[in-house]
Amino acid sequence: MTLAVNIGNSNAVFGLYANDWQHIWRTPSQPIQAEGFYESTLRFWLLEAGISLDTIQKTAMSSVVPALTPTLRNVLTGLFGDGLVVVGPEVYPALPLTILRPDQIGADLVANALAAFTRYHQSCIVVDFGTALTFTSVTAEGLMAGVAIAPGLRTAIRALFANTAQLPEVPIELPESALGQNTAHAIQAGVLIGYEGLVRHLLAKTRAELGPGTIAIATGGLANAIPALHNEFVAVDESLTLEGIRLVGQLATGN
């Protein structure tokens, strides 16, 4: 079994893989938490699933939260040994990707690109609906051609809540109409329906640059928040980033 860990800005996601994703767990990314919190949480998940520590042979981790990286590194090496692979510039030479600025690109974006390229072997755009809304483009030759970043859906709503005196934080639910009849619906219309246009337009511009035959894949915790966008994607796969992290671990160790 392989344990893949994706430390994002909002959540740390743990996935257990054996021929397929057997279990996926998530907990908020909280750098202030001690190692004991994450260790006990992971032990509880494994115990609840009936999985012993010694059945996990490989571990791989990606992090975009530097303050949390050493905490989870220590937890994983303490539980499973020193074979942990951390997605970063040190392991990129083992990947079938050309990464132009390896010190600047997020490890999660590399994982997304690797998973998509490995699965489809054609030019593609991975749209990750997370804390940030990211568009990662990969050519058919494996070149990471570029990235576009916008605030994520929840981030946009929270920005309105945090920076205005009278606008509330509202749930991420797609309204039936663009004509908001109350404050909550007005925010939902502006953000969710507005983001449908943002995603479609940016995909169209990116496809025009990458060329005919460019496909798009959606991932991230909010990948299903705007169902009208699904016709833009060949797949909506919330575990795509974990799959990329798992592949990095496999390629970096040669097995």
Residues belonging to the active site: 108
- Alpha helices (H) along 166-255: 183-188, 194-210, 240-253
Angstrom distances, CA of residue 132 to CA of 51, 86, 156: 33, 21, 9
137-167 burial code (b ≥16 CB/10 A, e <16)? bbbeebbbbebeeeebbbbbbeeeeeeeeeb
Q: Of 237, 207, 245, 234, whose CA–CA distance to 123 is shortest?
A: 207
Q: What are phi and psi of 109, to 5 degrees?
A: -70, -35
